[in-house]
Structure 1
Amino acid sequence: MLKKVINIVVLVPLGIVLVLLSVANRQTVTFALNPFNTADRVLSVSAPFFVFLFLAVILGLVLGAAATWFAQGKYRRRARNEASEALKWHREAEKQRSQAEKLAAQASLPSPQN
């Protein structure tokens, strides 16, 4: 519940700011990748400024998510290793339990009388 409230408090104002910036920056700008000749149309893209703004936000989200995913890799690996070890010990416990049941069943059988 608290996470929802925090998301609403952060994401709603952020969304409002992005919409206001988009409305205010509708003019076409040219994004040039050639620093020596900005008039070169081969390495440039023209679009409304808000398109570049949204692309920058999306790129930041993707890069942040990738950095977080890579940073948490050691924890995911540890969780996988511990899960496989727990499964191994569970199988061993089941094996021991079945052997104990067999021994108990053999011990409870009456021995043959001569």
Structure 2
Amino acid sequence: MKLLRWILLPPVVLLAMVLAVANRSTVTFSLDPFDPETPALGIDVPLFLIVLVSVLFGILAGGFGAWAQARRKAARIKAAAPAGGGLPALRNADGD
């Protein structure tokens, strides 16, 4: 898994950096789907900022998903563990 991360992560980061440098022009980020010419909710921001914030949001969402999955797995393992929680107690030779 770590090898896959080292193979895939550098090209993705490099691509995001190239897109950020190549797209420095200002665009209108609109939250109004009904009027694209004069949006009610819209701001002018550089395109690279939208790209980098989107990548950051994706990283955070993926990290949160992995964290939540690890918590569920740990809880499942803990619930399946025996009640004693460890190795059985040793007994004396006379059966006590």
Please indicate, yes or no, whether the TM-score normalized by the shorter chain is above 0.5. yes
Kindly name which structure, 1 or 2, has the bigger radius of gyration based on alpha carbons.
1
Alpha-carbon distance in 1 for matches of 2:84, 2:32: 57
- Paired position in structure 2 for 1:56: 54
CA distances 1:8-29 after superposition (whole Å, capped 9, x unpaired): 3322222211111111100011
Unaligned runs of at least 5 residues, structure 2: none
| Greater relative contact order structure (CA < 8 Å, 6+ sep) | 2
CA distances 1:58-88 after superposition (whole Å, capped 9, x unpaired): 222222333344445542212222457352x
Determine what percentage of the aligned residue pairs are the same residue: 28
The aligned amino acid for 2:28 is T
Alpha-carbon distance in 2 for matches of 1:62, 1:52: 15
* Structure 1 length-normalised TM: 0.59
Unaligned runs of at least 5 residues, structure 1: 105-114
> Greater helix percent: which structure?
1
The structure-2 alpha-carbon separation of the partners of 1:72 and 1:54, relative to structure 1 and needing over 3 Å to count, comes to same
Alpha-carbon distance in 2 for matches of 1:7, 1:45: 35
* Structure 2 length-normalised TM: 0.68
Q: In the comparison of the two structures, how many residue pairs are matched?
A: 95
